[in-house]
Amino acid sequence: MPSNTTKCIGCGVVLQTEDPTKLGYIPNHDHIFCKSCYQLMHYVKAEGHSHPDNLPNFEKKSLIVVVTSLLYLDSMLNSEVKRLGDNYKVVYLINQIDLLPDATSKNFLLGKIQKSFRLNRVSYEDIVLMSALNPYDIDHLKGYLKSFNVPNIYLIGLQNSGKTTIFKALTGN
């Protein structure tokens, strides 16, 4: 690993070799991905991989859009990100609903997610179920986000949740 690299190239957490139970753990300095990113890439395992200390200071009149994969919804409920809604307008985008069978009731699913958020005391403005790969969902999301009429919109979320796909689809980049 180059000597000037101190952060995981997957998620940006500061790499450390001291404690395998803490964020950023690597077995030795030859690694460029933290243990969590490595496990996600090779074993499709995501465990407690959030970095609340690294969240920027959000301006008060901003909208925070928290993206999570339907597959990792439980990880979101166990992270400190869930407390953002206490101080900001927060919209949760539950991505990858296209992975569900067609017969799945989206209203039933949304009700279950809302109940889970209530039980876990997650404050939010709205919950949106979508697929970043569906052009209709992206067009709807563009209009929806514009309706907030805020100067800044922050797109945050867990790794592998679809943030980059959504950002590129929204901006055309």
* Per-residue confidence (pLDDT) for residue 91, from 0 to 100: 94
* Per-residue confidence (pLDDT) for residue 13, from 0 to 100: 78
pLDDT in 10s for each residue of the chain, 173 residues: 444 557 887 777 788 999 988 878 899 988 888 888 787 767 766 565 555 555 667 888 889 999 988 887 777 776 667 677 667 889 999 999 999 999 999 999 999 999 988 988 888 899 999 999 999 999 999 999 999 999 999 998 877 788 889 999 999 87
Shared domain check, 136 and 159? yes
Query: How many domains are there within the chain?
Result: 2
How many helical (H) and strand (E) elements, i.e. helices and strands, does the chain have?
Answer: 5, 4
> What residue spans of 44-134 are helical by DSSP H?
73-77, 106-119
Enclosing domain of residue 39: 1-45
Shared domain check, 57 and 38? no
Shared domain check, 167 and 99? yes
Shared domain check, 162 and 77? yes
CB half-sphere exposure, 128, CA atoms < 13 A: 20
* Per-residue confidence (pLDDT) for residue 8, from 0 to 100: 81
Shared domain check, 145 and 91? yes
Domain boundary pick from 26, 45, 64: 45
- Residue 160, domain CATH: 3.40.50.300
Shared domain check, 150 and 66? yes
C-alpha 88/C-alpha 50 separation (Å) is 18
* Per-residue confidence (pLDDT) for residue 35, from 0 to 100: 83
* Per-residue confidence (pLDDT) for residue 162, from 0 to 100: 86
Shared domain check, 57 and 34? no
